[in-house]
C-alpha cells in the first residue's frame, strides 16, 4: 500500500491509472535509452583505453628522448631553443548529440600551414637528439587530442548512464508498484462501497415491502 | 576559439611548448589550483595535467567532470606512469556499469 493518504474516489483512480501509463511509457523509453547509451559507451571506452595506453607509452618514450637531449647540451641552450614556440595550435570545439548527451568534438588548427613546422630553433647549437625528441612528441599529439575527445565523452556518458539507470530503477521499483498498489486499493474500496450500498438498498427494499404487504403477519 | 593547455612541473611539460600548446609550469599546490581554475574558466578547451598534479587537484578537477569544456586529461609526467590515467578510465566504466566488467581481467 502506498504510504500517503489516498482518497478512494473515481477521480483519483483515473488520475492514478493515467500516471501508471505514463510511468510505464517513461520506463520503457528510459530503459531503451540506457541500453543504447551503454552499448555506445562500451565501444567508446574500449577505444579510450587503447588510446590512453598508446598515448602514455608515447609520452613516456618522448620524455626519455627529452632527457637524452637535455643531457647532450647545457640547460641554457635548451631553454633558449624552446623559448619561443613557432607553432600554435588552436581548437574548435563542436558538439555531438549522442542519445541526448552532448559530447565534444575537437578540431585543431595549426597556425602555420605545415603541421610539422615545429622546430623553433636553428639547428646549429642544439643536439640532434632534441629534434628527435620534439618529433616524437609531435607524433603523439593527434592521438592526445583524440584521447581528450573520447575520454571526455566517456566521462559525460558515464554520468548520464548513471542518472538514467537511477531513473529507470526508481520508476521500476517505486513509482510503478506504488501506482499499481494505489489502483488496487481504490478499486477494492470502490467495490466494497458498491457492495455495501447494494446490500443497503436490498435491506431497504425488504423493509419497504414488509411495510406495504405485512408478509410476516400472514404466516 | 579555444586553446590547449598543459599543466605540470616544468621538466614534464616543457617539450609541449614546441608543438604550440601553452605550458604552465607550477610548483606549489595553491599555485596549481589557482592556475587550473583560471585556465578552466578561460579559453582553454583541453587541459592536460600531469598525473602527479592531477592527484593533488582531484577536488578541483572533479568540478569540471560534467562540463563539456574543459576536458581535463591526465598524462604521465617525467617521473613515470602512476597508472592514474588508466584508473580514471576504469572508474568511468564503474560509474556507468556498476562494476568494472570491461577491463577487470587485464
Predicted complex ipTM: 0.89
CATH number (domain holding residue B43)? 3.40.50.10580
pLDDT at position B106 is: 61
pLDDT at position A219 is: 66
pLDDT band at A39 (very low <50, low <70, confident <90, very high): very high
The count of CB pairs under 8 A between chains A and B is: 142
Q: Judge: B17–A62 Cβ closer than 8 Å, yes or no.
A: no
Nearest to A38 among B20, B71, B96 (CB): B96
- Residue B36 inside a domain? The answer is yes
pLDDT band at A168 (very low <50, low <70, confident <90, very high): very high
CA distance A93 to A105: 6
What would the grid cell of residue A108 be? 585543431
Nearest to A90 among B3, B68, B102 (CB): B3
Query: What domain count does chain B have?
Result: 1
- Name the nearest CA neighbour of A62 among A146, A137, A129, A4: A137
Task: Determine phi and psi for A191, rounding to 5 degrees.
Answer: -60, -45
pLDDT at position B79 is: 79
Question: What are the strands, taking DSSP E only, across chain B?
Answer: 2-8, 22-25, 44-50, 71-75
Q: Judge: B48–A144 Cβ closer than 8 Å, yes or no.
A: yes
Tell me if chain A has a CB within 8 Å of the CB of B10: no
Picking from A84-88, B47-51, B90-94, which range would have the lowest pLDDT averaged per residue?
A: A84-88
pLDDT at position A115 is: 61
Q: CB A162: neighbour CB atoms within 10 A? A: 17
Nearest to A59 among B14, B17, B76 (CB): B76
Task: Collect all residues of chain B within an 8 Å Cβ-Cβ radius of residue A55.
Answer: 75
- Residue B57 inside a domain? The answer is yes
Query: Of all residues in chain A, what percent carry a pLDDT higher than 70?
Result: 94
* DSSP collapsed to 3 states, A131-169: HHHHHHHHHHHHHHHHHHHHHHHHHHHHHHHHHHHHHHH
Q: Judge: A63–B102 Cβ closer than 8 Å, yes or no.
A: no
Domain ranges of chain A: 17-205
- Residue B92 inside a domain? The answer is no
**Residue A3 scores a pLDDT above 60:** no
Block residue for cell numbers 542519445: A99
Our CA dihedral for A50, A51, A55, A58, rounded to 10 degrees, sits at: 60
pLDDT at position A30 is: 95
- Residue B103 inside a domain? The answer is no
* Greatest mean pLDDT range, A9-18, A77-86, B17-26, B55-64: A9-18
Mean pLDDT of A125-134: 78
Picking from A94-103, A119-128, A147-156, which range would have the lowest pLDDT averaged per residue?
A: A119-128
pLDDT at position A4 is: 67
What is A17-205's CATH topology? Helix Hairpins (1.10.287)
Distance from CA of A174 to the nearest CA of B (A): 20
Q: Name the B residues in 46-105 with CB < 8 Å from any A CB.
A: 46, 48, 65-66, 68-69, 71, 73, 75-78, 80-81, 85-86, 88-89, 92-93, 95-98, 102-103
Nearest to A159 among B12, B66, B69 (CB): B66
**Residue B67 scores a pLDDT above 90:** no
Mean pLDDT of B29-35: 88
Q: Judge: B78–A155 Cβ closer than 8 Å, yes or no.
A: no
- Residue B95 inside a domain? The answer is no
pTM equals 0.83
Q: Judge: A106–B46 Cβ closer than 8 Å, yes or no.
A: yes
Are A86 and A120 contacting, i.e. CB atoms less than 8 angstroms apart?
yes
Is the Cα dihedral A173, A177, A179, A182 positive or negative?
negative
Mean pLDDT in chain A?
Answer: 87
Helix, strand or coil, per DSSP, at residue B76: coil
**Residue A13 scores a pLDDT above 80:** yes
Domain extent, residue B52, equals 3-78
Mean pLDDT of A145-170: 92
Nearest to B89 among A52, A103, A145 (CB): A52
What would the grid cell of residue A140 be? 603523439
pLDDT band at B80 (very low <50, low <70, confident <90, very high): confident
pLDDT band at A171 (very low <50, low <70, confident <90, very high): very high
pLDDT at position A28 is: 96
Is the model more confident about A88 or about A18?
A: A18
pLDDT at position A40 is: 92
Helix, strand or coil, per DSSP, at residue A71: helix
CA distance B33 to B28: 9
Q: CB A94: neighbour CB atoms within 10 A? A: 11
CA distance A53 to A51: 5
pLDDT at position B2 is: 87
**Residue A53 scores a pLDDT above 80:** yes
B5 burial via Cβ count (<10 Å: 0-12, 13-18, 19+): buried
User: Crossing angle for the helix pair A10-72 and B84-97, nearest 10 degrees?
Assistant: 170
Mean pLDDT of A121-147: 82
Task: Collect all residues of chain A within an 8 Å Cβ-Cβ radius of residue B48.
Answer: 144, 148
- Residue B105 inside a domain? The answer is no
Amino acid at each position: 500500500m502506498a504510504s500517503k493518504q489516498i482518497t478512494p474516489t473515481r477521480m483519483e483512480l483515473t488520475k492514478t491509472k493515467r500516471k501508471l501509463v505514463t510511468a510505464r511509457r517513461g520506463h520503457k523509453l528510459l530503459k531503451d535509452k540506457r541500453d543504447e547509451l551503454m552499448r555506445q559507451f562500451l565501444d567508446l571506452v574500449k577505444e579510450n583505453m587503447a588510446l590512453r595506453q598508446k598515448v602514455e607509452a608515447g609520452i613516456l618514450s618522448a620524455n626519455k628522448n627529452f632527457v637524452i637531449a637535455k643531457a647532450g647540451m647545457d640547460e641554457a641552450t635548451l631553454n633558449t631553443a624552446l623559448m619561443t614556440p613557432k607553432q600554435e595550435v588552436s581548437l574548435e570545439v563542436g558538439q555531438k548529440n549522442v542519445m541526448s548527451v552532448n559530447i565534444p568534438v575537437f578540431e585543431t588548427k595549426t597556425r602555420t600551414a605545415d603541421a610539422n613546422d615545429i622546430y623553433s630553433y636553428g639547428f646549429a647549437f642544439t643536439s640532434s637528439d632534441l629534434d628527435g625528441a620534439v618529433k616524437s612528441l609531435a607524433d603523439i599529439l593527434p592521438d592526445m587530442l583524440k584521447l581528450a575527445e573520447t575520454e571526455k565523452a566517456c566521462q559525460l556518458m558515464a554520468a548520464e548512464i548513471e542518472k538514467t539507470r537511477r531513473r529507470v530503477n526508481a520508476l521500476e521499483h517505486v513509482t510503478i508498484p506504488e501506482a499499481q498498489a494505489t489502483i488496487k486499493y481504490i478499486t477494492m474500496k470502490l467495490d466494497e462501497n458498491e457492495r455495501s450500498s447494494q446490500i443497503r438498498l436490498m435491506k431497504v427494499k425488504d423493509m419497504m415491502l414488509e411495510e406495504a404487504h405485512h408478509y410476516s403477519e400472514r404466516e | 576559439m579555444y586553446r590547449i593547455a598543459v599543466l605540470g612541473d616544468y621538466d614534464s611539460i616543457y617539450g609541449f611548448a614546441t608543438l604550440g600548446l601553452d605550458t604552465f609550469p607550477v610548483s606549489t599546490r595553491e599555485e596549481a589550483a589557482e592556475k587550473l581554475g583560471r585556465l578552466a574558466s578561460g579559453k582553454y578547451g583541453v587541459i592536460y595535467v600531469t598525473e602527479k598534479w592531477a592527484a593533488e587537484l582531484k577536488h578541483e578537477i572533479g568540478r569540471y567532470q560534467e562540463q563539456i569544456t574543459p576536458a581535463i586529461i591526465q598524462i604521465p609526467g617525467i617521473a613515470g606512469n602512476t597508472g592514474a590515467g588508466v584508473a580514471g578510465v576504469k572508474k568511468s566504466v564503474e560509474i556507468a556499469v556498476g562494476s568494472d566488467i570491461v577491463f577487470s581481467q587485464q
